[in-house]
Amino acid sequence: MDLNADLGEGGKEDAQLMHYITSCSIACGGHYGTQETIVSTLLEAQKNNVAVGAHPSFPDPEHFGRRPMNMEKKAFQDAIYLQLSAFENALKEVDLPWQHIKAHGALYHAITSDSTLAVHYFEVVKKFPKVKGIFLPVVHPLDDLADDFGFTVWREGFADRAYTPAGGLLPRTVQNAVLTNTAAVVAQVEKWQQGKAIPKAQQQFQLFCDTLCIHSDTPNALQHARALAKQFNFGPLA
């Protein structure tokens, strides 16, 4: 399993986090970031042998991309294309392969609930054929659509977030939705690794993921990553 972090978002611990993760998603101008920050984060990843991906967002730096936006198709696709192009140009400068694309914040969740938006998003992603795959939530309805577009999908779990019984993330507005206690983060991942199920109505489902995420802006993110790397054997995605 892979351990990833969302980086290039203005956090002060990005360089230290690189020592413990195996891949990262880099903000490329929608919610945060400039060409300079993309390149500098790529260089840190290169130094630490960390695989890299783009982290596009609704164009909303004011709310850090964590508020849904209602956009016309062309404006939305132009915004995503601009961000992915900036990331691609930075990759050429640094000479690194492009592992994945992972939507950020409100966009990440919006594409799983709005199939039309998901199509618009995938249409843009498809224009960047060097990308090996995309990150999507563990529980999502996009398998058939992703197959139609020919994408490799890696399912992502969030080590530092609390989940609902239905397998979705608790909204950040809810108390204790973000796990700041490192022991709680490790304990949650241990349950997943042991195959312990999460109750879903009258059924049980197992949270299986290909990659685990630590948000770089979560309090104690560095401690979380360090403890997870010590406890589990993480490796690159196939």
d(CA 146, CA 64): 26
Q: What is the CA radius of gyration of the chain?
A: 17
At residue 48, the pLDDT reads 97
DSSP letter assigned to residue 59: S
What are the Cα distances from residue 117, in Å, to 76, 108, 123? 9, 11, 10
d(CA 225, CA 220): 9
What domains can you pick out in the chain, each with its CATH number?
2-231 (3.20.20.370)
pLDDT tens digits in sequence order for the chain, 238 residues long = 999 999 999 999 999 999 999 999 999 999 999 999 999 999 999 999 999 999 999 999 999 999 999 999 999 999 999 999 999 999 999 999 999 999 999 999 999 999 999 999 999 999 999 999 999 998 788 989 999 999 999 999 999 999 887 778 888 889 889 999 999 999 989 888 776 655 554 444 456 789 999 999 999 999 999 999 999 999 999 7
pTM: 0.93
d(CA 44, CA 16): 10
Residues 6+ apart with CB under 8 A from 75: none
* Residue where the block lists tokens 């249409």: 123
At residue 143, the pLDDT reads 87
At residue 205, the pLDDT reads 47
Residues 6+ apart with CB under 8 A from 135: 4, 25, 53, 100, 101, 102, 153, 154, 155, 156, 211
At residue 202, the pLDDT reads 42
At residue 141, the pLDDT reads 84
Contact 237, 32 (CB under 8 A): no
At residue 195, the pLDDT reads 66
